[in-house]
Amino acid sequence: GAAVIQKQIAEGPPRKRVGLATVGRRPVRDGSVLTDPNSGAPIGVVTSGGFGPTVNAPVAMGLVSTTSESGQDLTAVGTLLDADVRGKFESVAVTALPFAPHNYKR
């Protein structure tokens, strides 16, 4: 147990949770495979997705590998990925979470 945690602290986790915004209007649903657009290799999976009425656009969250085969950081905001939506690829961009700013004051 401790060895795994110490390795993650030293090297970082192998996957991260990221926000995803589709480039088009088609929502990306849970279970969709995320691929690296450069190599076509699978790099993650969408954990939840649908239409976000607050941002008036489709949004999703997924688990993505932190680095690609070429060493590129795949979890950086603005990185474009491909999502397999019913056999067709939809471009998605990694976005910051939360999708909409909070409307409360402390």
Spell out the domains of the chain, with CATH numbers in brackets.
Answer: 14-95 (2.40.30.110)
Neighbours of 18 (CB within 10 A): 26
pLDDT at res. 102 = 84
pTM comes to 0.86
Is the pLDDT reported for residue 12 higher than 90? no
**Average pLDDT of the chain, as a whole number:** 92
Neighbours of 35 (CB within 10 A): 17
pLDDT at res. 62 = 97
Write down how long the chain is. 106
Taking the C-alpha atoms of residue 80 and residue 37, their distance in angstroms, rounded to an integer, is 8
